[in-house]
A and B are shown apart, each in its own frame.
Chain A
Amino acid sequence: MSIASTSVIQIIPRTRRGVELWLLIVAIGVSVAAYVNIGLTVQDKVPASTGYYAAGIGLLALIAHFALRYRAPYADPVLLPCAVLLNGLGVAMIHRVDLGLAKAAEEAGRDPRGPAAPQQITWTAVGIVLFLVVILLIRDHRRLQALTYTAGLAGLLLLVLPLVPGLGVNINGAQIWVRFLGMSFQPGEFAKLCLVVFFAGYLVVKRDVLTLAGHRFLGLDLPRARDLGPILIAWAVSLGVLVFEKDLGSSLLFFGLFLFLLYVATERAGWLLIGGLLFAAGAWFAYATFGHVHKRVEDWLHPFNEVGGQVSNALMGQAWGGVLGRGLGQGRPELLQFYAQSDFIISSFGEELGLTGMIAIILVYTLIVERGLRTALGCRDIFGKLLATGLAMSFALQVFVIVGGVTGLIPLTGLATPFMALGGTSLVANWAIVALLLRISDQARRPQTPAAPVSDDTIALAVQKQ
């Protein structure tokens, strides 16, 4: 381990902000090109809103870039451009589906719903503001460790918020929305952020006992029965989310994140085994007990049994896109109604950009995940490592669950496609997550004085002495 750690710590300290700027210009260029392309194919003209869109996305990206130059010069240069690209493409696709839905409404003689794209640009601005707040106010991510239990409490409160009568609303069978001051929020997205902070802070303190005590069985280190408390609580809370909010995706996401962080903190595969068994038991229980879970599984196994089903519609859309896609503006994503902008937005890309675009987008997500994990590797403190791992893996899990659901790999669960899907809460929360990752990566890549390599264990001891 010490050899591996050494290779990470010996990064030549360079800020790479210039690289980031170039990548940002590419990301903004691709997004604006997509936007213009959509206007040209659907309306036969460069859309009048191109200036608004380009200025919005471009300006926001540049503000974020200069904030990094000012406050986090050593931050990872790839994360921000990836996020901007996904956000920009997402808005372009939302705009495209706006046009498609308006046309369909016009043909059917209905009043078209207002466009969603401007709204999403506004939310992007809010997201960037939060990004700036995180970068400018949190000068050192380790300060968050002091908020461990506060974050845990906040996370739990946010989780149960949709269950409060008069506040929570049920949309599409899931009780995960809150309506407040005439606007809808998905508090689960911020709960995710809080809980990752909590898991990381909690495991920094508890990892010793969870790591060392236990017995060996069949080559695996199994923990003591009395140390099972935390994982059982996490499991119970996840099941609670599933039972009371009918939110399969969030439930899976929270438990998965806890399990991953537990594994990283203790390096004991036994936890994965126990967690895997608990997950299987929970999944089977849910399948057998809850109609909505059962239906999701049925829709996954036999997507074409349900006439006019969303999954079958999305699958046919992606097949229609084929390898190269119909071309932006030339598919029929609006056949999925407004789901083509939210849960199924990746299917809209599959239809119009084809397998090629699909793989490109998945690769951009992969880049975010892997850059996040690289930040965790390079980070010098345990809390930062766990935090970065949790944030990065939240992207990985979320993308896998929603994209897998939309492409028919696994049963569909309603999670937001990070940065792309229509929805303010998710977008803003994701910008906060990327800001945190950038903050940690700035610390990880910043040259140390003294620059002598330090091993993990020294840091661990140092942190525990605090």
Chain B
Amino acid sequence: MNSAIRRLAVAAIVLMLALMANSTYLQAFRADDLNGRNDNRRVRDSQFSVDRGPILVGSTPIAESKESNDQFEFQRTYRVGPQYAPVTGFYSYLYGRAGLELTQNSELNGSDPSLAFRRVVDVITNRRQQGASVSLTLNAKAQLAAYSAMGNKKGAVVAIEPKTGKVLAMVSTPSYDPNQLASHDLDKVGTTWKKLLEDPNKPMSNRAIRELYPPGSTFKLVTAAAALSSGRYTPETKVRSPAELELPQTTTPLKNENLQNCGGSDNATLTVALRLSCNTAFGSVGLDLGADALREQAEKFGFGEKLLPELGAVASQFPADPNAPQVAQSAIGQFDVQSTPLQMAMVAAGIANGGDVMKPYLVQNVKTADLKTVSETKPESLHQAVTPEVASQLTQMMIDVVNNGTGKPGRIDGVQVAGKTGTAQTSPDRPPFAWFTAFAPANDPQIAVAVMIEDANVPRTDIAGGTLAAPIAKKVIQAVLGQ
């Protein structure tokens, strides 16, 4: 009998070991998986109860947690909600997180591995866990200027410091108020969320970096850069610029917008062609250089790369395998050339910085609650897009655009602005996109900016694009330069 009892004893131990093994799998190995679930109330509630660190612009918190006396301990508050919404994103109990609230979550709530030491200290000294603060590169004045200048227009503004790649302003309109999504009145949050999703103007999409648009004539800067870099062109090189440029393989010619030749000449110089934004001139340059040279140049400015990982910018695109007429269209920023406003600001910034395109960044540093720096972002070069010589030639041409050409609305008294206008159309029945990209001061650039206005209700001419977008860029430049 005893041997049977012994076997049962072994069986009982096996049963208990099975329980322990299963618990080990559940609590040690499967735990992360379960803690990451959206329907996990424990994790959600606990994160909602953490004293989350602020997001700072300068020393001003644009997002911060304030003590609240309702069902949660803290209320996430956004100081000027809609103005910064594309950057901060939101922090909602029901709908999770977006923007920096999402990507910097572990720093903000203090759970990041880099903050482990801090947490140990908090436990030992019996202090509550406090999140780290995230400081941004944004310039509050530029952001305000850009946001108010956009008014109720639909579009985006991105400003960059050319020397470093710091993002100085990022505005997307129409925007939304993240306070309404962070509210603890969950019924109201649900209604707001539904309304935002159904809004045809898509207020929650970040037009500055997450949407692609045809860059139109602002892309001629890239074509000009490729031409000058090829060594076969100077700013004074004459190019074919008739009113209509007949294209190979098609009977549809490429036309100048005013249906005339370029400044009274069928063979205008590159400088004049840029000044007047002649389509036929850049079309013929594009045909001459070929798709590969254009694509290579575009990629050196950052096309094809997913930039600004803090907010997950999408990659701008140059078409993969265009035929000849498509190359001519691409050279003037039409056909399948797709760009974010951020990318066009980087083109201007690269030219401004002697051809050195800096990697754009938004998070300047992360600091613990007692102001110890956890991480600090250092400027980093992305690509040398053009030589300093070509950059200075392009700068002169862009000065000419603002002083004498389509970019006149961007002029500022006492400051030399260099810029390029654009008006892009996707289809004849859709209002065009108005663009302006510029930097200033031309001799010592402090800011590069791109403005894009969607569905601009203007004539389809570059002057029209400039008229609409350039004054907004001007206000942002003035804000940064302290005018």
Instruction: Report yes or no: B23 in contact with A319, Cβ–Cβ below 8 A.
Output: no
Instruction: Report yes or no: B22 in contact with A373, Cβ–Cβ below 8 A.
Output: no
Instruction: Report yes or no: A456 in contact with B1, Cβ–Cβ below 8 A.
Output: yes
Instruction: Report yes or no: B12 in contact with A407, Cβ–Cβ below 8 A.
Output: no
A332 close to chain B: CB less than 8 A: yes
Instruction: Report yes or no: A264 in contact with B71, Cβ–Cβ below 8 A.
Output: no
Instruction: Report yes or no: B5 in contact with A407, Cβ–Cβ below 8 A.
Output: no
**Count of residues in B whose CB is under 8 Å from the partner chain:** 35
Task: Tell which of B22, B24, B43 has the most Cβ of chain A within 10 Å.
Answer: B22
Instruction: Report yes or no: A335 in contact with B42, Cβ–Cβ below 8 A.
Output: yes
Closest beta carbon of chain B to A175's beta carbon, Å = 28
Whole-angstrom CA separation of A363 from B20 in the bound complex: 9
Please name all residues of chain B whose beta carbon is closer than 8 Å to the beta carbon of A358 when the two chains form the complex: 20, 23, 27
A276 close to chain B: CB less than 8 A: no
Q: Write the B9-27 contact mask toward A (1 if CB under 8 angstroms, else 0).
A: 1001101101110111011
Please name all residues of chain A whose beta carbon is closer than 8 Å to the beta carbon of B43 when the two chains form the complex: 320
Known A-B contacts A366-B12, A385-B5; A408 and B22 likewise in contact (beta carbons under 8 Å):
yes
B2 close to chain A: CB less than 8 A: yes
Closest beta carbon of chain A to B112's beta carbon, Å = 17
Closest beta carbon of chain A to B236's beta carbon, Å = 70
Instruction: Pick the residue among A267, A307, A350, A403 that contacts B27 (CB under 8 A).
Output: A350
Select the stretch in A26-34, A88-96, A310-318 that faces chain B: A310-318
Known A-B contacts A315-B34, A332-B45; A355 and B23 likewise in contact (beta carbons under 8 Å):
yes
Whole-angstrom CA separation of A374 from B9 in the bound complex: 8
B31 close to chain A: CB less than 8 A: yes
Instruction: Pick the residue among B4, B19, B28, B34 that contacts A264 (CB under 8 A).
Output: B4
B116 close to chain A: CB less than 8 A: no
Please name all residues of chain B whose beta carbon is closer than 8 Å to the beta carbon of A407 when the two chains form the complex: 19, 22-23, 26
Closest beta carbon of chain A to B111's beta carbon, Å = 13
Please name all residues of chain A whose beta carbon is closer than 8 Å to the beta carbon of B45 when the two chains form the complex: 332
Whole-angstrom CA separation of A397 from B11 in the bound complex: 10
Segment 418-466 of A: residues with Cβ below 8 Å from B: 456, 460
Instruction: Pick the residue among A320, A373, A408 that contacts B5 (CB under 8 A).
Output: A373
B3 close to chain A: CB less than 8 A: yes
Known A-B contacts A362-B20, A377-B5, A404-B18; A370 and B27 likewise in contact (beta carbons under 8 Å):
no
Please name all residues of chain B whose beta carbon is closer than 8 Å to the beta carbon of A317 when the two chains form the complex: 42
Instruction: Report yes or no: A264 in contact with B26, Cβ–Cβ below 8 A.
Output: no
A136 close to chain B: CB less than 8 A: no
Whole-angstrom CA separation of A390 from B43 in the bound complex: 43
A59 close to chain B: CB less than 8 A: no
Instruction: Report yes or no: B12 in contact with A370, Cβ–Cβ below 8 A.
Output: yes
Whole-angstrom CA separation of A396 from B16 in the bound complex: 8
A48 close to chain B: CB less than 8 A: no
Segment 416-455 of B: residues with Cβ below 8 Å from A: none
Segment 353-370 of A: residues with Cβ below 8 Å from B: 354-355, 358-359, 362-363, 365-366, 369-370
Closest beta carbon of chain B to A314's beta carbon, Å = 10
B35 close to chain A: CB less than 8 A: yes
Whole-angstrom CA separation of A350 from B25 in the bound complex: 13
Size range of the chain A interface in the assembly: 35 or more
Task: Tell which of B3, B5, B8, B45 has the most Cβ of chain A within 10 Å.
Answer: B5
Known A-B contacts A359-B23, A400-B19, A409-B19; A322 and B8 likewise in contact (beta carbons under 8 Å):
no
Whole-angstrom CA separation of A8 from B1 in the bound complex: 13
Instruction: Report yes or no: A264 in contact with B27, Cβ–Cβ below 8 A.
Output: no
Please name all residues of chain B whose beta carbon is closer than 8 Å to the beta carbon of A1 when the two chains form the complex: 1-3
Instruction: Report yes or no: A319 in contact with B30, Cβ–Cβ below 8 A.
Output: yes
Closest beta carbon of chain B to A268's beta carbon, Å = 9
A164 close to chain B: CB less than 8 A: no
**Which residue of B has the minimal Cβ distance to A366?**
B16
Instruction: Report yes or no: A332 in contact with B41, Cβ–Cβ below 8 A.
Output: yes
Please name all residues of chain A whose beta carbon is closer than 8 Å to the beta carbon of B26 when the two chains form the complex: 315, 318-319, 407-408
Instruction: Report yes or no: B35 in contact with A264, Cβ–Cβ below 8 A.
Output: no
Q: Write the B137-168 contact mask toward A (1 if CB under 8 angstroms, else 0).
A: 00000000000000000000000000000000
B249 close to chain A: CB less than 8 A: no
Known A-B contacts A315-B26, A320-B35; A456 and B8 likewise in contact (beta carbons under 8 Å):
no
Q: Write the A307-345 contact mask toward B (1 if CB under 8 angstroms, else 0).
A: 100000001111111110000000110010000000000
Whole-angstrom CA separation of A359 from B32 in the bound complex: 20
Instruction: Report yes or no: B1 in contact with A264, Cβ–Cβ below 8 A.
Output: yes
B39 close to chain A: CB less than 8 A: yes
A413 close to chain B: CB less than 8 A: no
Please name all residues of chain A whose beta carbon is closer than 8 Å to the beta carbon of B6 when the two chains form the complex: 4, 377
**Which residue of B has the minimal Cβ distance to A400?**
B15
Please name all residues of chain A whose beta carbon is closer than 8 Å to the beta carbon of B35 when the two chains form the complex: 316, 319-320
Please name all residues of chain B whose beta carbon is closer than 8 Å to the beta carbon of A321 when the two chains form the complex: 27
A242 close to chain B: CB less than 8 A: no
B250 close to chain A: CB less than 8 A: no
Closest beta carbon of chain B to A372's beta carbon, Å = 9
Instruction: Pick the residue among B9, B19, B24 that contacts A403 (CB under 8 A).
Output: B19
A263 close to chain B: CB less than 8 A: yes
A99 close to chain B: CB less than 8 A: no
Please name all residues of chain A whose beta carbon is closer than 8 Å to the beta carbon of B18 when the two chains form the complex: 400, 404, 409
Instruction: Report yes or no: A404 in contact with B3, Cβ–Cβ below 8 A.
Output: no
Instruction: Pick the residue among A267, A316, A335, A393 that contacts B12 (CB under 8 A).
Output: A393
B128 close to chain A: CB less than 8 A: no
Whole-angstrom CA separation of A373 from B39 in the bound complex: 44
Whole-angstrom CA separation of A60 from B32 in the bound complex: 42
Segment 81-129 of A: residues with Cβ below 8 Å from B: 107
Whole-angstrom CA separation of A307 from B41 in the bound complex: 12
Q: Write the B30-60 contact mask toward A (1 if CB under 8 angstroms, else 0).
A: 1111110101111101000000000000000
Closest beta carbon of chain A to B133's beta carbon, Å = 26
Please name all residues of chain B whose beta carbon is closer than 8 Å to the beta carbon of A363 when the two chains form the complex: 16
Whole-angstrom CA separation of A107 from B45 in the bound complex: 14
Please name all residues of chain A whose beta carbon is closer than 8 Å to the beta carbon of B16 when the two chains form the complex: 362-363, 365-366, 369, 396, 399-400
Whole-angstrom CA separation of A265 from B43 in the bound complex: 52
Instruction: Report yes or no: B13 in contact with A8, Cβ–Cβ below 8 A.
Output: no
Closest beta carbon of chain A to B351's beta carbon, Å = 53
A376 close to chain B: CB less than 8 A: yes
A150 close to chain B: CB less than 8 A: no
Whole-angstrom CA separation of A456 from B1 in the bound complex: 8
A287 close to chain B: CB less than 8 A: no
Instruction: Report yes or no: B13 in contact with A366, Cβ–Cβ below 8 A.
Output: yes
A15 close to chain B: CB less than 8 A: no
Instruction: Report yes or no: B12 in contact with A350, Cβ–Cβ below 8 A.
Output: no
Q: Write the B331-343 contact mask toward A (1 if CB under 8 angstroms, else 0).
A: 0000000000000
Instruction: Report yes or no: B71 in contact with A107, Cβ–Cβ below 8 A.
Output: yes
Please name all residues of chain B whose beta carbon is closer than 8 Å to the beta carbon of A456 when the two chains form the complex: 1-2
Task: Tell which of B13, B19, B26, B28 has the most Cβ of chain A within 10 Å.
Answer: B19
Whole-angstrom CA separation of A335 from B8 in the bound complex: 38
Please name all residues of chain B whose beta carbon is closer than 8 Å to the beta carbon of A408 when the two chains form the complex: 22, 26
A382 close to chain B: CB less than 8 A: yes
Please name all residues of chain B whose beta carbon is closer than 8 Å to the beta carbon of A265 when the two chains form the complex: 1
Question: Would you give 29 A-B contacts (Cβ < 8 Å), ordered by A?
Answer: A1-B2, A4-B2, A107-B71, A304-B37, A304-B39, A316-B34, A317-B42, A320-B31, A320-B34, A323-B31, A332-B41, A355-B23, A358-B20, A358-B23, A362-B16, A362-B19, A362-B20, A366-B16, A370-B9, A377-B5, A377-B6, A389-B5, A396-B16, A399-B16, A404-B18, A407-B19, A408-B26, A409-B19, A456-B1
Question: With contacts A319-B33, A359-B24, A385-B2 known, what are 7 further pairs, Cβ within 8 A?
Answer: A5-B2, A8-B2, A107-B71, A260-B8, A335-B41, A369-B12, A370-B12
**Interchain residue pairs A-B with the least CB separation, the first 8:** A319-B34, A355-B27, A319-B31, A396-B12, A409-B22, A400-B15, A373-B9, A264-B4
